[in-house]
Structure 1
Amino acid sequence: LWAFAEFETLVRLWHEGLPVPYPVQMSDDEMLMEFIGSPDGQAAPRLAQTRPDPAMLPVLFEQLREAMLRLAELGWAHGDLSPYNVLLEGEGDAARLVIIDWPQVVDVIGNPHGPEFLERDTRNMCDWFTRRGYAVDEGLLFGDLIAAATSRW
């Protein structure tokens, strides 16, 4: 079942320190995970729904970059990473990105299309930051991610 596979992925990523919701439990084909949002019950918005202060963009990009690098060090790509699969929790200095929707995680090296998925993930996220006025070098990030993914070999 895809839900069980996603749950196992979340458990591994949580233990590796990646910014993902805490996986609470599986029950049949339903997954329970940490609520990402405010104490008053307001769900954190998807990054695509937000317009962060331009001064926050470098901080948010660095959070994303670190998460993508750590994931690549594990040999994985999200496989469908976009501003729709990233939540923005909190505001100002407390703002943090949380990556969601993991059923299609891809082995960057073992899957013949792995580098293509990683490149698409990189492009999707770099395009979002660039359109918001924070120009990032997609090629440089992709190169760093490939190097991280292959460093374990």
Structure 2
Amino acid sequence: MARHITVTLESRGVSALACLLDEEAPRTASAVWNALPLSSPVFHGKYARNEIYHLVPAFAETEPGRENSTVTPIPGDLCYFQFDADVLATPSHAYGGGEVPTEKHGIIDLALFYGRNNLLINGDQGWVPGNVFGTVVEGLDEMAVACQDIWMGGARGESLTFARSDRT
């Protein structure tokens, strides 16, 4: 039976329903499912284009490693990225207000891609493949409008939440 999660922009009151890709990314989907709910300030992608994401301390008992990874996510993809704490502490990333967890075990970036033509390359690090662990099945159009508002209007005060859904 398929497992579903919701991805919500709390202040904007917009949610999308996503199906976990248990067959394609079983380790990543399970790690995320077991850690839910996860909520923290939202960011809009600088390099990847049509992406919103949040950063949380590493949560997997065993890091899933690469599976079902891509550098060209499509609209509706949910991606998991693992970073060492010092990787995001560069001036080019412009995090400076305490938004980035400083856990010694790493930082997890959970992202939703809402539009086309994304390319996961970073000027400081090169290619940044992400594990595609879920896909949005409802609400992507409304979420895309809210994501564009974050891009043009700002992310301050907005939280992104990934939570289990009881939908089957």
TM-score bracket, normalised by the shorter chain, equals: under 0.3
**More strand by percentage:** 2
**More helix by percentage:** 1
Structure index of larger Rg: 1
Give TM-score scaled by structure 1 length.
Answer: 0.26
Higher relative contact order (CA 8 A, sep 6+): 2
Give TM-score scaled by structure 2 length.
Answer: 0.25
